[in-house]
Every structure is written in structure tokens, then in C-alpha cells.
Structure 1
Amino acid sequence: MMRALWSAASGMIAQQTSVDTISNNLANVNTTGYKTETAEFKSLLYQTLQTRSTSANGSDKPVPAQVGLGVRTASITSRMSQGALTATESDTDFAISGSGFFAVRGEDGETYYTRNGDFNYMVGTNGMMLANSAGLPVLDSNGNAIEFGPEIDTSKITISETGQLMYPDETNNPQSLGFSIGIFQFSNPAGLEKTSGSLMKETAASAAAINEATGLNIVKSTISQGYLESSNVQVVDEMVNMIVAQRAYEMNSKAIQAADDMLSQANNLRR
């Protein structure tokens, strides 16, 4: 009966983690570029009550008797499906269609990746610089901050689907400025380490970033100017998952009550 208490308690803890994850998804339903997360579980160790043997009359008993000892959280996995593109009125809003990520340079000098293309122009060291909402510089395909000289009117800059930065010439025809917004892919994007501000960091699990400008044998992403990628959270699915997690939590609490009642009955036995 003590096994039942601890197993049910582990189930309640696991379902609490599931509800926490679902709550975070719902809280970020309107966060640009957010990817929904799912709590994954795995069973704990099994206790062997009886190994494979034979019965007293010699009959074969090939199946052992094992009792599970509960559950624990295995991982919280991000679902990297494409979010819907929402039109905006800003020329510095960009949305990625495909598997790519924008790159920004953090205050610590490290490179971070994001699907949030809510960018703006700000004053840089040599002119105007493209930066995210937190003021971190956006990187080009060579890993350098995207900056424009004082002769460039940023209101006239456009971006092609491949990320090339374009500026009109004397005849008002867009011409490439010679560099493009950096787009990077990962072999396992779910392995990226999440930080604050919709930023993610490269890890050993995600593998090294693949530069779409130089990568081979990859399906390249496209960029849409004047759009932002909405989160891929499905509110209806999350509400159903919350009901399932809540019912599982209740069932585990009932198992604890049942084990407690059995222990109470055993303590009340009289000879």
C-alpha cells in the first residue's frame, strides 16, 4: 500500500507539470513566434515481485510479476509547426515560412535564435541598425550586425523572399545592398535551449546552426515583409489537454485516498 501512495503522488506531481506547461501555452497564445510545448512522461523503476519460473506442479510461468513505482516528467518538447502569418502595417516586421530562425547577438556577445520577426531600426555605431524589440542587433548571413550608412533612407528598404536587403536606385528599381538577413536551421530545433524574450540558444542536442545561405541539401525558408508569425498554440487542444490532465490528477488523488483507507482498515484490525 505504501507503493500506491508514492506512485499516486508521483502521478499528481507529473500532472501538475502538465498543467503548468498547458498554462504557459495559453499565456503565450498571442506571443509572436511562440511554439507550443508538450510535457512528456516516462515510467519509473519496476519492482520485481516474481521472476520467470515454474509453479509447484511444474507448469511454466514465463511472465514475471512486476509492479511499477510511478511516473516522472521525461521532457517538455516544443512543437515546431508553422504558425499563421498575420499582416501588419510595419515594414520592419518579418515572418519566416519554413524551418529557419532569425539570429540576434545578445548582450553577452552570444548568438541567439528566434522566430519573432518584430524588428525596428535604431541608432547603431555607424548608422541605423536593424534590431529586435529588446534592442539586440539582428545578424546577417555572415554573422554581422545589419547596419546602414547615413546615406540610406531606411523607410525605402525592402526585403526579398530570400532575405536580400534591397534599396531603390535612381530609376526607383530595387537593387541588392550586398547582404541579407541571416536565416539558420537546426537538425533538431526541439533541442534548443529556451531563454527569455522568445530567444533560443544552440545546444549539443540541437546540433550546430546551419546557415541557409551556405547550407547544402536543405529546404530553404522564405521571408515575408509586413507580416508576423503568430504562435501555433491551438486553444481548443490545450483546453482538452487541461481537462485530461485535471482528471488524471483527480484519479491519482483518489488512489491516495483508497490507499489511506486500506491502511486505516489494517491499523484497526483486532485479534
Structure 2
Amino acid sequence: MNRTMVTAVNTLGQLHKQVDLIGHNLANAETAGYKSREASFADLMAQQINNYSSAGSEVGRQSPLGIRQSPGARISQTAMLSKQGSLKTTGRPLDIAFTKENQYLKVRVQEDGTSQIRFTRNGELDIVNAGDQWVLATKDGHLVLDENDQVITFSGKVEEVKMIQPGTLEATMDNGQNIAFRLGVIALNKPQYLEQMGNTLLGLPDGADNNINQIYSDLNGARRQEISLQQGVLEASNVDIGKEMTDLMASQRSIQFQSRSITLADQMMGLVNGIR
């Protein structure tokens, strides 16, 4: 196949992935706690062509001899942007927002019949009935965990919730009893190690169990003073719609360019085949 076509086809596939990523960011522009992602490109493995040109024609050349041709570009990384999102006041007691970057709630989710711990900054919480007890859950139904990775439960109906310390909430039951509970909060040391598990969920990749302490730290004990939470507000996504639209137009132009390259290569091969 013509090298121009190979390069264009390889790059086109990666550009479409970038467009999908931009579309995902735009679709979650109004999702509380969502962190946008950005694609970075790199060349595919280049081929070295030794043309053995004469020494006289290479005077002043500083790059290595020969020609290096790459068959296109690929997405090398989709980096999560941890920048703090703006805060929206809701006045709802069960709405909480982190005011420091890289702090996350711990939640328990069900995936493929197994229970997994995930992390989220979406603080839109609710207390829902679970049979003979009540549980604290996210808007998406994921169970919120305490500092010991246990599901936060209540034996009766909750009348009021207020924050009494960083990361500590106090619930007033319908019988007048006050129950304090500590939210499970982590601080990410290496955010890029985590994988996107949903719109606002992050999780550890396979095989990362031995490096947990390097990837994140539990904010327990004396470190709970580092928790920065605000009640009655939600953190908006950090998606910059203007930037995303600009990137989208640039990607579409690149797609047009690569498509045009295929057309021109086809026309050139047609001319060659038509030579008599």
C-alpha cells in the first residue's frame, strides 16, 4: 500500500479517538465532580532508511544520516486534568464539595458481580432505604464508605445532617439521637496511575495492589485535618467548553487533511497506472 495512505489511515483512527474523548468531555460539562481528559500524540515507530548520500552533500548536517519515516501518529496518553472546578451553592445538607485538588471520596460499587472500591469527587449524596436500614450513597447509587472502608449505615430515618469537622458529618435521627460518622477520604499522590471507571469514578489498574501507598494515601488519624470539604455546595466539572470546541475544530481539520492525503495518493496512483 502507498506509504501516504498508510500514514493517513493510521492517524485518522487516532484522531477519531481524540474526537470521541472531546465529545465525552463536552457531554459531562454539567456533571458534578467530573475531571476532563486531554489526549497527547506521539509518532509511531519510525523506519530508518539509509540512503548513503555523498559526504559532500551533507556538509553542516547535524542530524543522524539517513531518512526516518513514521507510519503515522498515535495517542500516547489521555491525561486527567486535576484542576479544581468552580463551586455551586445548593444549600442542600447532603451536597458536599472538595476545595483541594486530588482529594476523593471512597465508594463501593458492584462490577461484574463483585464489590470494588472506587474514588469520586461527585459529592451529590443521599440517604436511601436498603431494607431494614438506611445507607449513605451517591446520586448514582454507589455506597459511600467510612474511614475503615465500611458502608455508612443508619438504623432509622435521618432528620438532619451537618458537618462538625473536616470530613466528619453528624446525623440527627428521628428519635433525637445524634450519630457522627467519618467519610473515607484519600489524597492522590499520582493521579495519572488511576483509570477512568465511569464518568466520575476512578479506580486502580490491574496489578497495582503492591504500589497503593505510592498512588494514594488515606486521610486518617492526624491527616484528617488535611481534608478540605464544604457542605451545601457541589463542585462543577472543570471542562473548559471554549477549549474543547477549539480542540474539536482542530481535530476535524486534521481529519480533513488526512482524508485529502488519501484522495491525492489515490489520484497519483491512478496517473501512474495510466502511463503508456
Q: State if a TM-score over 0.5 links the two structures.
A: yes
Secondary structure at the counterpart of residue 42 of structure 1? strand
CA contact (8 A) 1:164 1:176 kept: no
1:75 to 77, 96, 105: 77
Q: Are 2:106 and 1:103 aligned?
A: yes
* 231, 242, 246: which one aligns with 2:237: 231
1:261/1:21 CA distance change after superposition, 3 Å: same
Partner of 2:93: 91
1:213 aligns with 2:215: no
Secondary structure of the corresponding residue to residue 106 of structure 1: strand
Checking the alignment, whether the CA contact within 8 Å between 1:129 and 1:148 is kept in structure 2 is yes
- d(CA) in 2 for partners of 1:182, 1:58: 67
Which range moves more in the overlay, 41-50 or 124-133? 124-133
Any idea what SS the aligned residue of 1:155 has? Answer: strand
**Cα offsets for 1:207-250 (capped at 9, x unmatched):** 5241011486x993311111111111010000100111111111
Q: Is the 8 A contact 2:94 2:161 kept in 1?
A: no
Report if aligned partners of 1:161, 1:222 keep a CA contact under 8 Å in 2.
no
- Helix, strand or coil at the partner of 2:144: coil
1:188–1:205: 8 Å Cα contact kept in structure 2? no
Distance 1:155 1:86 in 2: 24
**In the TM superposition, what whole-angstrom CA distance separates every residue of 1:36-73 from its partner, at most 9, and x where no partner exists?**
1112221112122216x562669777532111211122
Is the CA contact 2:22–2:248 (under 8 Å) kept in the aligned structure 1?
A: yes
1:162-177 alignment to 2 at 5 Å?
Answer: 162-166=166-170, 177=180
Structure 2 equivalent of residue 199 of structure 1 = 201
Aligned pairs for 1:46-65 within 5 A: 46-50=46-50, 55=54, 62-65=64-67
Secondary structure, in 3 states, of the residue corresponding to 1:5?
Answer: helix
Question: Percent same amino acid among aligned pairs?
Answer: 27
Give the TM-score normalised by structure 2: 0.83
State the secondary structure of the residue aligned to 1:264.
helix
**8 Å contact from structure 2 (residues 159, 171) kept in 1:** no
Structure 1-normalised TM-score?
0.85
Query: Structure 1 residues 259, 65: CA separation in 2 closer, same or farther (over 3 Å shift)?
Result: same
Comparing 203-212 with 185-194, greater Cα deviation is found at 203-212
1:183 to 177, 182, 185: 185
Listed as ranges, the gaps of 5+ residues in structure 2 are none
Whether the 8 Å CA contact 1:86–1:230 is kept in 2: the answer is yes
Paired residues in the alignment total 262
Question: 1:233 aligns to what SS in structure 2?
Answer: coil
Aligned twin of 1:159? 163
Taking only aligned residues, the RMSD between alpha carbons, in angstroms, comes to 2.9
- Superposed displacement of residue 176, structure 1: 7.7
Q: Residue deviations 1:22-47, cap 9 Å, x none?
A: 11111111111111111222111212
Amino acid at match of 1:235: I
For the residues of structure 2 that align with 1:8 and 1:211, how far apart are their CA atoms?
A: 47
The 3 A distance-change label for structure 1 pair 59 and 240 is closer
**3-state SS in 2 of match to 1:254:** helix
Q: Provide Cα deviations, 1:54-93, integer angstroms capped at 9, x if missing partner.
A: 6266977753211121112222222111111111132111
Structure whose residues are more often helix by fraction: 2
Aligned mates of 1:199, 1:264 — CA distance in 2: 51
CA distance in 1: counterparts of 2:127 and 2:32, whole angstroms: 18
CA distance in 1, matches of 2:6, 2:196: 32
Looking at structure 1, the residues matched to 33 and 86 of structure 2 have their Cα atoms a distance apart, in angstroms, of 9
